[in-house]
Amino acid sequence: MDNRKIYVTQPALPPLAEFIPYLQEIWNSKTLTNNGPYHQQLEKALCEYLGVPHIALFCNGTIALMTALKALRIQGEVITTPYSFVCTSHSLLWNDLQPVFVDVDPVTLNLDPRRIEEAITPQTSAILPVHCYGLPVNTVEIQRIADVYGLKVIYDAAHAFGVKQKGESILNAGDLSVLSLHATKVFNTFEGGAIICQDEKTKQRIDYLKNFGFADEVTVMAPGINGKMSELNAAMGLLQLKYVDEAIEKRLRIQALYRELLADVRGIEQLAVPDDVEWNGAYFPVFVNGHYPISRDALYARLQEHGIHGRRYFFPLISSMPMYRGLPSANPRKLPNAHQAAEKVLCLPIFPDLALEDVAKICVIIDEASRG
C-alpha cells in the first residue's frame, strides 16, 4: 500500500475562490462580528435548512452547551451519558452542576431510557443526552420521563446536523438542542456551535447570554459570556451550506459501501440505522466483538501500520476520567454497556472526500485480520 495517511476525518472545504467574495464584503463593511449580516443570514438559512424555529449561533459547541444550561437555569444534578466526548460533562462542571452517569443501551450506544428513572433524585433538574454518532436517542421515552418528573431536556446534538426522524428534525426534540460546527463535524464553520430553541423568548435570552448579558447599550440582563460567532465563521457557514447536501450524500455512499463489505466479516458488528431515521453518516463505528481473532486495540494498531488512523470514539469513558471517576454514578459496575462499548468500538475513516477505493482497502485489511 502507498504511504498516504488516512485519518478518521478530514474537514470538508468548499472551493477557496468562492470564499473570496465573502472576505471582500467583510473587508468592505468592516463588520467583523456582533450579530453582523452574515451571522443573521446564516441563522435564517440554518433555520430553513434544518427545519427548526430558532437558532442562536455560537463560537463553538462547548460554549453553546454551557450557555444552554445557563439559559434554562439548570441546578443540582443532571443525568447524562458517560459515552460521549468530554465536553458533554465538562459543560456541567463549568456550571457547578453534578453529572449523574446513566448507562447506555447496548445496541444503540445511546443513553438508555430504562435506566433513567432509578437515577432521579430530588436534586435532579435536567437530562443531557447525546445523539451519539448522529443516531437519535429515544427522544419520545426521554420526554415522557422528563414530563413525569418535571425535568428539562437539553440534547447534545453535536453529531446530529441534518438528522431527521419520521420526517422531522431531531433538533426539535426536548427544550434545547446544541450543535457543534467544529472542523471535524458534518457541517463546519471552522469553529462554531449553535443552540436550537422552540420559542422567541428563549432565543432572546440565549442571545443576551452569548453577548455578555447585554440587552441594549446600558442594560445588562444576566452574567453572560462572550459566545458570539464572528462574520468570518458565519460567511464560511453560508458557503458550506451550498455543499452540505452533497457532502452528506458522499458520506452515505461511503457508509453503504462499508456496510456491504463488512457485512460478512466475522466478529465485526455494525450499528443499525432505524428505518424511520434519515442519517447524516457522521461517523462509522464498528463493534469488534469476541469472534474477531484480535482485540479492538490490535485492529486499531494494525490499521495504523497501513496508514489508516481510526479513532476509539469514545475511549476512555468520561466517567473514567480523574475529575469524574470519584462520583457515585461513575462506578464501572453501574455502567457495563458503556465500558463494553469503550473497549470494543472503533470508528473507521469517513469524510466526503474519502475515495471508495480507500474504503475497499480498509475493508480488505479488516477482513484479512479476521481470518487470523
Ligand X SMILES: *Cc1c(COP(=O)(O)O)cnc(C)c1O
Residues assigned a catalytic role: 185
Least distance in angstroms from the C-beta of 57 to ligand X: 12
Nearest residue (beta carbon) to ligand X: 61
Binders of ligand X among residues 79 to 118 (CB under 6 A) are 84-85, 87-88
337: three-class secondary structure by DSSP:
helix
Stretch that binds ligand X, among 58-66, 201-209, 257-265, 349-357 (CB under 6 A): 58-66
Kindly state the cell numbers that stand for 339: 465500558
Looking at 151-159, 258-266, 291-299, 319-327, which segment touches ligand X (CB under 6 A)?
151-159
Three-class SS state of 3: coil
Q: Which is nearer to ligand X, 66 or 265 (CB)?
A: 66
Query: Which of 87, 308 has the CB closer to ligand X?
Result: 87
Interacting residue with ligand X among 62, 139, 177, 329 (CB under 6 A): 62
Task: State which residue, 172 or 180, has the beta carbon closest to ligand X.
Answer: 180
Q: DSSP assignment, residue 191? A: S
Q: How many residues bind ligand X (CB under 6 A)?
A: 14
- 65 to each of 191, 201, 227, 290, how far by Cα in Å? 14, 18, 10, 37
Q: Read off φ and ψ for residue 197, nearest 5 degrees.
A: -135, 170
Give me the DSSP letters along 346-368: EEEP--TT--HHHHHHHHHHHHH
- Show the binding pattern over residues 157-186: x = contacts ligand X (CB under 6 A), - = does not: -xx--------------------x-x----
Residue 159: CB minimum distance to ligand X, A = 6
Q: Compute the least distance from the CB of residue 282 to ligand X, in Å.
A: 9
- Cell 441546578 belongs to 75
Question: Cβ 193 to ligand X, closest distance in Å?
Answer: 5
For ligand X, the closer CB: 169 or 370: 169
Question: Does the footprint of ligand X cover residue 315 (CB under 6 A)?
Answer: no
Classify 175 as helix, strand or coil.
Answer: coil
Contact call for residue 193 and ligand X (CB under 6 A): yes
Smallest distance from ligand X to CB 135, Å: 12
Residue type, 113: P
DSSP H helical ranges for the chain:
20-29, 37-50, 61-71, 87-93, 139-149, 200-210, 231-241, 244-262, 296-305, 336-344, 356-370
Round to whole Å and give the CA distance between 199 and 44.
Answer: 15
Q: Binding residues for ligand X, per CB under 6 A?
A: 60-62, 84-85, 87-88, 130, 156, 158-159, 180, 182, 193
